[in-house]
Structure 1
Amino acid sequence: MLLFHLRCRPLLVIRHGEASKPSDQRTSSHCINRACECWNRHSAASRLRTWKSKLITFRLNEKQLHPRVHAFRGQEASTRVWPEPDPYETEKLEFDVKQQTLLLLACLTGLITGGGILVFSKLIHEIQDVIWQGQLHNGCTVWLRHTPIDKTWPQLVLGPAAGGAVVSLLRTAFGGFEQQPMPAWRWRPRSLLPAVPLQQIWGQARNALRSPAKTVAAAVTLGSGASLGPEGPSVEIGTSVARTLSYLFVRQKRYRQTLLAAGSAAGISAGFGAPISGVFFAVEAILSRESGSMKGKESGVAVASLLLASVCAQTLSKTSLGAAPLFTVPQYSIQATELPLYWALGALCGLLCTAFAYCSEASSATFRSIQDDGVPAWLLPVAGGLLCGLVSLAYPEIRYQAFDNVDAVLQSGIRGAQVYGPALILQILIAKVLLTSICRSSGLVGGLYAPSIFLGAALGMAYGDVLEALLPGLLMSPQQSFGLVGVAAVIAGNCRVPLTAILLLFELTHDYSTVLPTLGAVGLSYWVSLALDPSKAPPAKEQPVEDEASAFDKASR
């Protein structure tokens, strides 16, 4: 197949059975013009056979070409033999160029992802300011709990319902948020480009805009206060940027997968402010599922791409958003003699993750049955947002409030802060599990990391309160230490990324003493959640389990 070289390096085209004269040295533009003429004269099949059998194209730089050309001057054309290039050197050169291009694209992916997440965060805050008229501030969770309902019910109830309506409108306008695979991009002469119908052009443009539309829908969902998180959309931003760049500049499938992993690493790095966790997330969630991505020579460029993308994204987001942690880490201490207590907490977190999985399955089945009964699909996100708003009247901690709810729970009882007793935390846990499952199944857009962080912190604090009541004066570790370990354990069980959860807690606390109890708790939570996973149970014959994100996605397709 003819290779068009548009670079400034000269081309030498040699026909089988004859050698070109030095005076007939072809230039790049001349070769391209001749190729385009033959392209127009022959059909596709004939062109492929003719050029593949008659033309051999060698890429040579000027330092190699001109001395050889001058050396052939004065010789007869019939005695000139052009030396064949070393295939090993040619393959090594192309391999190095591809890897260098991949590293540059990884840096560009990190920078664009960091900028996209910055815009995404600003958009969430702007939507919150529009709904609440600037009333939300640090400590808004406690403020909402103590403020009379008659002053806050319009924002609490109507805000998520309006956000669900906007999400339905965006999903309907773009035909869903799942981006279809794009066709392979190849350069072709303008005379060979087929006439594309206007309807097909609009379909391709709508497909390309689905990812930005999903980001806007996630910002509306979170800004209105639904019970979801921003980290999932942050990863979507990174993978969307990587998918676009790989479509334009990368042809090899293995390199495309590496670039997608770099985009996901950049999303976690910029979303959490944790670059190491972003790299491990990409390895656990993407590269570990590909059989040849981390083997041989490919492993070096894969690891380098993840590191560069994560660092670039974190640098840009840190410069713009600051280096403040997602939530305030309280004072705590961990005793080695109490490690079995943390391991028991890990098992409880695994059970909580299992309950969340069963609740998600039940809510998805419920919304599917509601849709089968004739309810319009666009009403489902509105119903999910409305239900979330109604429950938040009694439990405002279930709303997305940029981790202010996590701060309120972890600071419980410290320096006169709001005290969350075990009974109240248990009620909040049940409401949070139910509403997160409903919001996700109804078609609202968001991630599970922020809900998992809150569930782990709340369960750990309640567990510490119960231990303090059962073992008065014997418990050395404060309640906050159990809350922090619970954060990592629930992330590992819900999101299936145990190593990422451990490193994320370490990057948030900057304390090595949290690693030992976290290792055991994360391991037990991960094992329990996998052993009791409802998706592994054989489905009933009359109700087969379908691989659908939500009932609304099914209707959109």
Structure 2
Amino acid sequence: MSLSRLLVTVLNRLQPSAETVMLISAIAVGLISGTGVTLFRKLILIAQEFYWHELALAFIAKWHWAIVFIPMIGAVVVSILRFKLDRDEASTSSRELALSYSQVPLKTVAAALSLGAGASLGPEGPSVELGSNIGSLLGQMMQFSSERIRLLIGAGGAAGLAAGFNAPIAGVFFALEVLLRDSYRTNKSSPNSDVSVVVIASVISALVSQISLGERPAFSLPVYEVRSYWELPLYLGLGVLASAVALMFTRAIKQAKKFFAGQWKIAPFMQKLPMPIKLLIGGLCVGIIALTFPEAIGIGYETVESILQDTPFTIPLLAMLLAIKLVLTAISSASGFVGGIFAPSIFLGAVLGSLYGQAISSFLPASIPIAASPAYALVGMAAVLAGTVRAPLTSVLLLFEMTRDYRIVLPLMAAVGLCAWVLDQLDTSKADRMMMQWSDLPADIEVLEKIKIAEVMTLNPASVKYSMPLLQAAQFITSGYHHSALVLDDINHLQGILTTQDIKRLLSNTVVDRPLEEMTVQNICTKEVLYTFADESLAEALKRMATRDLRQMPVVDRHQPKRVIGMVDRLAITTAYNTALTKRAIAARITATKPTVTIATVHSNTVNNVFSNGSGNGSSNNANDKSNDKDNNLNANNVNNLNNALSNSLDSASNNNLNRESDIHSSEAVSS
């Protein structure tokens, strides 16, 4: 990371503008990511040469079946790296660091050795993670804000995908569609600057990859030919099948992880097995498949290219490859091998498309002109990939960059769009639940949707004047152990926010354009502030906070957004969430102790009699929203850890809620 330190030193001396700093950082992320992905791909080739040429020849010379042990040997090596990774992650979490410098190369080497040993995973996921980690590390070294670090993470992910597929446009859209998603939509200050950071990192990384590995695209694809526009409904049918395969694929991975975690009733012993044994089980499964279906192991791009070149594959063989690859990828991922699901998704899509194309050509009469099976394989690749990673725009552009043929775009968009729509209708685990996981809260978002900001917000947040001397403001924030303070003007209107991270970054900067004694709060505070309203739900506030990794957010008057009426933070949201869950568990327990009363009566009496002094309608009504079975299966840790929060809220909730609305109006009057 000497290049990163050199960059920090140069920027400190030059003192460029914020936009220039991000531009230079994007170039650095692109260069480092492109170089890292290039080395990663070469390391995979070296590992494959060692495992499947040198070792395989030595084993086959004695026993043909001995190649079963090759993935198991790889599993032993990967388990050593995984042990070191797990130990490093435990130590870094105790120091509250996002990532250590040693973890990035360890993860990359572990992924290369996993793929080289034949694990049914892909290199694009690790490439994206490598680029994102590089962006995160660079942001930490530069002591950027959380928002800028997240932007560099997105730029690094785009760079990793661009270098992995030699597709810079798809890399940009992947970052905006998946990695940055809501944060790009909510950043109103400089969206064009943010996009330029991602674009530059993606282009630089793809350029480095092309110089090192050549300009050849990921696949050599045949020329696509449009036979008839009446063929479009057939591609829509492929989109529906692709959604089913993508859904089965993602659920198979989840079930395999539950199996290896010992959560299956038939295999609770798996929970007690150490990680090396689980990896050996996964390696054994890969080795057995290597004996019978070698096309299904490893990355699988050779098989995909053969399908795209119209190499003869029978329908039964394609059906078996589809099922085997799906199960083997789930086992490889859940057992502990390191890799991504991009390549397996592309493999499954190519096999499904070829199978579908051959099937319809055998059923339809010869007089109806349809495209050859490679065309359907190509569309199937994009459709299954879109359904698996939930990135339809990225999938369309990725395949378009590979073919560089505009005629494939219409069937491609039709199949991908229908696949994404079907999955949105079928799968309930969508972006809201993923956002909840970003916020370190369980994914029961319905609880937070019923609680309003007014019930948990602080009415008198810490604040400083925008003209206050900076050192005086720093003393005020640190003396009160505040993480941040709102910046107000002379008429108490919101002008920005000042955080301890802003102060720390300024103090660590050895070269400043003016003495600290002469600086005021308005010189370094963040002027673009996300805010919420008192009548919004906690779920909406938490999702907005997660876009920039905020710890707290001001609450403003809906009619006058510059007028602050309170502050909401993650601790208050977490407390309200766990209190609501605890209430629901107690309601279920009381219900269970009154078997002679009907279910409806128990719920009604429990809510009215026990929680008549509860904190708000949203929390108290939760007992009516869920079934008794789900309530009784509530995680006991939530109840045990938050009994104190429940008792405190029950003691003070009655008085607080009676006066909440009057407090809000009083605060607005004072602010005005």
Structure 1 length-normalised TM: 0.70
Deviation (angstroms), 1:328 = 1.8
Contact 1:331 1:480 in 2 (8 A): no
- Where structure 1 has 5 or more consecutive residues not aligned to the other structure, the ranges are 1-5, 11-60, 62-93, 137-147, 184-199, 414-418, 547-557
Match for residue 327 of structure 1? 219
Is residue 273 of structure 1 aligned with residue 166 of structure 2?
yes
Distance 2:61 2:320 in 1: 19
SS state at 1:174 partner: helix
Decide which of 160, 177, 181 is 1:288's aligned counterpart: 181
Match for residue 99 of structure 1? 19
Contact 1:177 1:213 in 2 (8 A): no
Decide which of 14, 31, 35 is 1:115's aligned counterpart: 35
| Deviations 1:342-390, CA, capped at 9 Å, x for gaps | 0110000000011112212221121111555522232111211211121
Contact 1:179 1:211 in 2 (8 A): no
| Deviations 1:20-44, CA, capped at 9 Å, x for gaps | xxxxxxxxxxxxxxxxxxxxxxxxx
Contact 2:119 2:299 in 1 (8 A): no
| Deviations 1:444-494, CA, capped at 9 Å, x for gaps | 110011011111111000101111111131132111111100010011000
Which one-letter code corresponds to 1:317 in the other structure? S
Distance 1:494 1:379 in 2: 29
Match for residue 404 of structure 2? 510
SS state at 2:357 partner: helix
Which one-letter code corresponds to 1:355 in the other structure? M
Decide which of 302, 324, 338 is 2:194's aligned counterpart: 302
Deviation (angstroms), 1:240 = 1.1
SS state at 2:365 partner: coil
Contact 1:171 1:177 in 2 (8 A): no
Distance 1:485 1:367 in 2: 34
Shift in CA distance, 434/278, structure 1 to aligned 2, threshold 3 Å: same
Distance 1:149 1:512 in 2: 50
Shift in CA distance, 361/276, structure 1 to aligned 2, threshold 3 Å: same
**5 Å matches for 1:10-159?**
97-133=17-53, 153-155=65-67, 157-159=68-70
- Where structure 2 has 5 or more consecutive residues not aligned to the other structure, the ranges are 1-8, 263-267, 434-442, 445-628, 637-672
Distance 2:196 2:149 in 1: 14
Is residue 367 of structure 1 aligned with residue 287 of structure 2?
no
Deviation (angstroms), 1:545 = 10
Distance 1:343 1:99 in 2: 44
Contact 1:398 1:432 in 2 (8 A): yes
More RCO (CA 8 Å, sep 6+) = 1
Deviation (angstroms), 1:429 = 0.3
Distance 1:545 1:342 in 2: 45
Which one-letter code corresponds to 1:396 in the other structure? P
Shift in CA distance, 504/475, structure 1 to aligned 2, threshold 3 Å: same
Deviation (angstroms), 1:408 = 1.9
Contact 2:166 2:206 in 1 (8 A): yes
Distance 2:379 2:147 in 1: 37
Identity of aligned residues (%): 38
Match for residue 85 of structure 1? none
Decide which of 334, 340, 349 is 1:456's aligned counterpart: 349
Contact 1:371 1:377 in 2 (8 A): no
**5 Å matches for 1:315-464?**
315-334=207-226, 335-369=228-262, 370=268, 374-401=272-299, 403-413=301-311, 419-464=312-357
Which one-letter code corresponds to 1:404 in the other structure? E
Distance 1:439 1:508 in 2: 27
Distance 2:113 2:370 in 1: 44
Match for residue 208 of structure 1? 101
Shift in CA distance, 434/409, structure 1 to aligned 2, threshold 3 Å: same
Shift in CA distance, 134/150, structure 1 to aligned 2, threshold 3 Å: closer
Contact 1:327 1:404 in 2 (8 A): no
Match for residue 381 of structure 2? 487
Shift in CA distance, 179/254, structure 1 to aligned 2, threshold 3 Å: farther
Distance 1:517 1:169 in 2: 46
Distance 2:124 2:635 in 1: 27
Distance 2:321 2:10 in 1: 63
Contact 1:453 1:490 in 2 (8 A): yes
Q: Which stretch shows the higher mean deviation, 472-481 or 102-111?
A: 472-481
SS state at 1:314 partner: helix
Higher radius of gyration, 1 or 2: 1
Distance 2:29 2:332 in 1: 30
Deviation (angstroms), 1:300 = 1.8
Distance 2:362 2:85 in 1: 55
Shift in CA distance, 452/151, structure 1 to aligned 2, threshold 3 Å: farther
Shift in CA distance, 179/288, structure 1 to aligned 2, threshold 3 Å: farther
| Deviations 1:244-302, CA, capped at 9 Å, x for gaps | 11011142222111111110010000000000000000000122122665423x21211
Shift in CA distance, 464/124, structure 1 to aligned 2, threshold 3 Å: same
Contact 2:121 2:329 in 1 (8 A): yes
Distance 1:116 1:389 in 2: 29
Distance 2:211 2:12 in 1: 41
Which one-letter code corresponds to 1:375 in the other structure? L
Shift in CA distance, 219/494, structure 1 to aligned 2, threshold 3 Å: same
Decide which of 482, 497, 507 is 2:391's aligned counterpart: 497
| Deviations 1:310-342, CA, capped at 9 Å, x for gaps | 111011110010011212202331232210000
Distance 1:179 1:275 in 2: 35
| Deviations 1:61-119, CA, capped at 9 Å, x for gaps | 9xxxxxxxxxxxxxxxxxxxxxxxxxxxxxxxx8x711101100100100000100111
Distance 2:35 2:147 in 1: 26
Deviation (angstroms), 1:9 = 11
Distance 2:635 2:413 in 1: 34
Contact 1:329 1:509 in 2 (8 A): yes
Deviation (angstroms), 1:182 = 7.9
Structure 2 length-normalised TM: 0.58
Contact 1:459 1:483 in 2 (8 A): yes
Distance 2:405 2:63 in 1: 42
Shift in CA distance, 153/411, structure 1 to aligned 2, threshold 3 Å: farther
Deviation (angstroms), 1:178 = 5.2
Distance 1:328 1:446 in 2: 23
Shift in CA distance, 348/402, structure 1 to aligned 2, threshold 3 Å: closer
Deviation (angstroms), 1:158 = 1.7
Deviation (angstroms), 1:544 = 7.7
Distance 1:9 1:251 in 2: 13
Distance 2:212 2:44 in 1: 15
Is residue 167 of structure 1 aligned with residue 59 of structure 2?
no
Deviation (angstroms), 1:7 = 9.9
Contact 1:179 1:208 in 2 (8 A): no
Which one-letter code corresponds to 2:329 in the other structure? T
Distance 2:400 2:243 in 1: 20
SS state at 1:108 partner: helix
Contact 2:158 2:198 in 1 (8 A): yes
Instruction: Provide the alpha-carbon RMSD of the alignment.
Output: 3.2
Contact 2:361 2:370 in 1 (8 A): no
